[in-house]
Amino acid sequence: MSRSFKLGVLAAAVMAAAPMAQAYEAGDFIGRAGVATVDPDSSSSDLNSDALGVLPGAQVSVDSDTQLGLTVTYMITDQIAIGVLGATPFKHDIEGDGAVLGGAGKLAETKHLPPTITLQFFPMPSSSKFQPYAGLGVNYTNFFEEKTTSTLTGIYDDVASGGAGGVVASTDLELDDSFGLAAEIGMDYMITENVGVNAAIWWADIDTDATINAYAADGSRVDSSTLDVEIDPWVYMVGVSYKF
């Protein structure tokens, strides 16, 4: 055998015997950035008005939104991790729904941040480039910058004045923060030692109490109504992963 052939065989043998680079192991941080969509599976109770009582069929639904999603995983062991989901603020339209308000269009909008923390399990060996995972944890959703539309104010004015107008001049909306269960599944596929692609899906139990106030032109309150709104979204994210 030639010297160069023997060296080639030796090099191949060394490469075959060398341990694979560790993909994920205890102490690693994996950061991910991508496109995240919050897609509510929403439903609401009937609107309950101080002035008029429960109005059957006066309901709302919540539409979807897409933002920059950011997640971080910290590997506590080679297989158990803590995961955090963050994002730029989501903005959702709140639309009329049910027999009475269905077709009314956009009644309000809100922004929210849905930070979610999960305990994650990575079943594959740490040497694997393919790292699926599942997580279970909690979601905290903070709603802010709630705004009502002139459509909603017009509906209140019509109802309060019997169609004559001139009773309700403005409305506002307040949504309580939500704290609930969250579950996720996802996968990273490492293309190089540090860079990979990621896809993940969460479900979060997000419920809020909505309060709508209606005011006369002089600022006095004409009515206060409440609704229980279940948002319970699926959250989808695709992006890139970077292992630190």
Q: Which residues contact Ni ion (rule: CB under 5 A)?
A: 205, 207, 230, 232
For residues 67 and 36, is the Cβ–Cβ distance under 8 A? yes
User: 3-state DSSP call for residue 128?
Assistant: coil
Give the span between the Cα atoms of 101 and 83, in whole angstroms: 39
Neighbouring CB atoms inside 10 A of 59's CB total 22
Give the span between the Cα atoms of 43 and 197, in whole angstroms: 34
What is the nearest approach in angstroms of Ni ion to the Cβ of residue 195? 37
What is the nearest approach in angstroms of Ni ion to the Cβ of residue 226? 17
CA atoms within 13 A on the CB side of 1: 8
What is the nearest approach in angstroms of Ni ion to the Cβ of residue 113? 18
Give the span between the Cα atoms of 110 and 94, in whole angstroms: 8
What is the nearest approach in angstroms of Ni ion to the Cβ of residue 181? 9
What is the nearest approach in angstroms of Ni ion to the Cβ of residue 232? 4
Give the span between the Cα atoms of 7 and 13, in whole angstroms: 10
What is the nearest approach in angstroms of Ni ion to the Cβ of residue 126? 36
Give the span between the Cα atoms of 87 and 202, in whole angstroms: 13
Give the span between the Cα atoms of 70 and 120, in whole angstroms: 16
